[in-house]
Structure 1
């Protein structure tokens, strides 16, 4: 099966030696922070993100201090949250964050299955790790997860210089905040935002993509879909993301290939990635 072969190739990608990365010893850590707020509902949350140069998954620690209540005005009491592509301007307008971080162009047409995270959007935290569960008080105890697909580099896939958005059940943006880090000059050495643009991620979308007309759920939580099933889908499935333990750094390229869409043979071009040597972000002294 073409689909199974693509998955096998991605998982077989060779891990690259740590010394290829400049600016940090092999034991060094990469770190970033986001303070996410939503004044309308008194939402206050923090995200601390830590990566490393040893291929281990990126550690994300979340703490909600207030605001994520069971208020029916906010829906079901379950909240979506994601890394979005763009930073916020000083007004804090969450709309300006645009779409989810999605370097493989999974798109929102494909429902994320947490058992097949390699086919989820990189920034889809709630899809991969579960929604934030509201409480009577609005606070949520600190918790952490380790995501093998969230990257500090390369630029196309980097979380640096972007933002985190929390949504209500109907996807309304109710809180947001910029991701800041010493690594790209968006955080000072005292831990405060510098309000400067990222020195590492400099290429941002100028608009959000159009929302898909049809949502599909090709994964069932246990088995990879058959090629026959995939051939009948209205969209081609993205190439699987390469995990950090298989390639510390990756390079994106446009991959043109033949697939079936709605059971019709079609030539498509999609983002794909391969293991690469290269340089991660260094301290912006």
Structure 2
């Protein structure tokens, strides 16, 4: 059965090349009005360019949503996860995973606000994120239409994507013509790196892969002592100074960075049956 084309789609939009291609593809493939949503989860990137890029691609100002979700992310998602001692494969602190339900929740809220009949994510058809996004959507809005371009479109190579971008005048950074050495996802809790130079688990990850920590060999030989105050199971202060959840995690990230804490190199099982190697850094966690 062929579904009718969606009229208005809320896209989880980073402003990067892939989601910019998805944005234009939604317009050309479905003729849909696109609403972009960009979440500030503490990924450390300037988000204003995402707004500018969306405007250049024909998105109306009122259809561009950029929300600072850092405090909600840490308070309502990261801290409860830590209280539950939730680990994947017995080691991984679920840094990427825990952000997806929050993004999905906000997308559904925006869809209701603007009267959209579909939502869209940029997760590939091989990873776990597609499941996280879509279970979140359906849990909150069971009848919502979900568009997953990486499972639907006809592009079969990176070159096809880049050709589509050039045809539709989507800006391509010079380094995008070559293969990136590895892919990165980041938020206030962690960064994860995978692919390319990390494909062979027998080869040690190059030092340049690490985004959030110095090497343990370069860490100080003297201990750094801090005192973390807790209330009802959640951290609320460092060395007696009260802090908001996001501010506290930011401070802990710096302590972890400076002391070479929080690295994990893991070959994990994906939901779809594949195995994947990831280099994760969670210095504050």
Smaller-chain TM-score range? Answer: under 0.3
Q: Larger RCO: Structure 1 or Structure 2 (Cα < 8 Å, ≥ 6 residues apart)?
A: 1
TM, length-normalised to structure 2: 0.24
Larger Rg: 2
TM, length-normalised to structure 1: 0.24
Give 1 or 2: higher strand fraction. 1
